[in-house]
A and B are shown apart, each in its own frame.
Chain A
């Protein structure tokens, strides 16, 4: 059992796997990707609501037992940041944000150069990014400036899998452009 995250975002990422919706629809082999924040202001209740769109992508251990092959996202799961409840499951074969036909092939491998190091270092870097997500999401919820934008951008840029970045740009264009720059 991996060490549980101390961040709200990390706990939410772990908890989505326990949702009946996830177990019913999402392949268990799914990787849960980096959250794409969405804000509704005003939301249905007149206040601010923040959501996380989570890309789900395929990944499989590499044949030599080291690292993993990465496949394009096949679905997104959007959850309410305040409650963790699922708001939408979108099968990308239906929503068709890009052309999908036949069996997708691997588009890259994990790990990429920017995260090479020890497993411990990767987990620490991921935990640090998730803590910055907490700060950003709270700032979005409260409508106040996010003071660690540069730090967040640098951390996301390092951890984002380059082979999946083109798909993130389509799924969360404004967010990715804001923190990682234009394509």
Chain B
């Protein structure tokens, strides 16, 4: 079975569980998804509206990881930090390279510097991600930006119109702020994406998100201690 077929199977299993359709393949998913819970909207996991208030577009081409950490830091501390200040801090510690960006393993270091507990995991599952959100933790993931910004891109479209360079893989960090099950058959992952205008509360179909996330080896950074 190819990686794509594995992914497709996994996705179908996930959607079956979400929608209550358990007539096949359920044995491959052992952990049930947490019940969607939110104070304001029972169909939404996480708090995307509150998180979106801390979004802004990244100030430099390669500061997506810095900006994603800043969103979380500002929300958790209630203090507004500047991206420039955090970029300077990260560069001084070797966590950010101008003209390059941030290594995956260094995502979260800024938060830890300010005393926020961070866990990092490769090969995480969507259940892991959703459970973190449901527990009140903050989440950053690595994604292939092309697949977030142009899911289902037509390969016959001009290369000029392609956002980035085809085939380069996971190249972008975003904050995941929620999962919206308002349409249970078509769940949507909500992001604070610093790399695109109007990226605060950006909505991405679950299938596209899973494709984009897989390119990072399903890298998951969770921050904060969650609900008290």
Q: Which residues of A contact B (CB under 8 A)?
A: 1-2, 4, 14, 17-18, 23-32, 56, 58-62, 65-69, 71-72, 74-75, 93, 102-104, 106, 110-111, 115-123, 126
Instruction: Evaluate contact between B100 and A29: CB separation under 8 angstroms.
Output: yes
Residue of B nearest to A4 (CB): B3
Taking the closest CB of chain B, its distance from the CB of A141, in whole angstroms, is: 25
A14 to B64 Cα, complex, angstroms: 22
Please name all residues of chain A whose beta carbon is closer than 8 Å to the beta carbon of B99 when the two chains form the complex: 58, 71-72, 74, 103-104
**Residues B171 and A117 in contact, CB atoms below 8 Å apart:** no
Check if B7 is an interface residue, CB within 8 A of chain A: yes
Q: Which residue of B lies closest to A18 (CB)?
A: B217
28 contacts between A and B (CB under 8 A): A1-B215, A17-B169, A18-B217, A27-B103, A28-B103, A28-B107, A28-B171, A29-B64, A32-B169, A58-B62, A58-B101, A59-B168, A61-B149, A61-B164, A65-B163, A67-B159, A67-B164, A68-B163, A75-B100, A103-B98, A111-B159, A111-B162, A117-B158, A119-B153, A119-B155, A119-B158, A120-B156, A126-B167
B residues whose Cβ falls under 8 Å from a Cβ of A: 3-4, 7, 61-62, 64-65, 97-105, 107, 122, 142, 144-145, 147, 149, 153-173, 195-196, 211, 214-217, 219
- Complex interface: chain B residues within 8 A of A17 (CB): 169-170, 217
B170 CB to closest chain A CB (Å) equals: 6
Interface SS of chain B: loop
**In the complex, chain B residues whose CB is within 8 Å of the CB of A27:** 62, 97, 100-103
